[in-house]
Amino acid sequence: MTGIESRRWFHPRGSLARPGWESVVDATVPGWAHTGLRVAELSDGDEIVCEEPGTERVVVPLSGAFAVVHTEEGRVTETHLAGRASVFDGPTDVLYLSAAAGARITGRGRVAVAESPTTDLRPTRHIPASEIPIELRGAGSSSRQVHNFGTPQALDAARLIVCEVITPAQNWSSYPPHKHDEHVPGAESRLEEIYYFESAPVAGSPASPDAAFGLFSAYASPAGDIEIDAQVRSGDIALVPYGYHGPAAAAPGYDLYYLNVMAGPDPDRSWLISDDPAHAWVRDTWERTPVDPRLPYGDTTEGPRR
């Protein structure tokens, strides 16, 4: 695969910038159709606008707090998102916006807006952090923490499936490598996937935040050729239209976070995957291995980690 083909699916921080936005993924990206993502960093007095019709959204504070003024069927509502200090401080409250709603966002910090085009209207909903399901997935060095605020079990959405994952330093996630690029009823679903990454030194480290990094890989499946083997840093984005993907590995000394945004053309909204057969056996080892004791992150009884 050529370097040009590889760069088609991996985008360093700022390379997808538009006015007011640090990064925008939408249907203007060649080969992309079902999902979108917008990321912005706001200061006091800044405002970003999401008013394109026919798009459902989930507003996710990455750091900081925000006010979202949303208009739907002539009604204007303001929702305050308490947010968090950083993506490594546990779950945040989020706001699901119906495809009939437009929104204006103000505040201070970093915010992500996950998107998917749809004409199917579902009710706007504010989900407080206390109601977000927290899953400790995997075991041992494959342990990670998943915040399932936008999965089918937690959110009534039309197409979007959204979650975020925290991988402690030295651990692997998105592992075993897996794919979701074929429609096999009950076994696998077709889903585009966006990975938005952040990385930070472990608590108490003398390292500069700019030094923090992880690794991410994606490779071909029968559905198509793709090759990503990249160092990932805060603000970087990987797009997975098809193919096996994983691991996402947190380097020693640095924790790794990613926001996943998924949607696809199948009639059912479901996340069904197929592991790479060469590595599927790894799941069987988790039954006899404990979860990494560093998890969960964001335990409020201990206060913020950063």
In the three-class reduction of DSSP (H, G, I as helix; E, B as strand; rest coil), residue 17 is classed as: coil
Q: What per-residue confidence (pLDDT) applies to 241?
A: 98
Q: What per-residue confidence (pLDDT) applies to 8?
A: 87
Residue ranges and CATH numbers for the domains of the chain are 3-288 (2.60.120.10)
User: Is pLDDT above 90 for 148?
Assistant: yes
The pTM score is 0.95
Q: What per-residue confidence (pLDDT) applies to 6?
A: 54
Residue pair 196/258 in contact (Cβ under 8 Å)? The answer is yes
Least confident window among 83-87, 205-209, 239-243: 205-209
Higher pLDDT, 1 or 181: 181
Residue with tokens 């159709």: 33
User: Is pLDDT above 90 for 3?
Assistant: no
User: Is pLDDT above 80 for 236?
Assistant: yes
Distance, CA of 90 to chain centre: 14
Give the model confidence (pLDDT) of 64-83 as tens digits. 999 999 999 899 999 999 99
Give the model confidence (pLDDT) of 256-271 as tens digits. 999 999 999 999 999 9
244: tokens are 């096996």
Rounded Cα distance, 234 and 248, in Å = 14
Q: What per-residue confidence (pLDDT) applies to 52?
A: 87
Distances (CA, A) of 159 to 68, 72, 99, 115, 195: 22, 19, 11, 9, 17
- Counting residues of the chain whose pLDDT is more than 90, the rounded percentage is 92
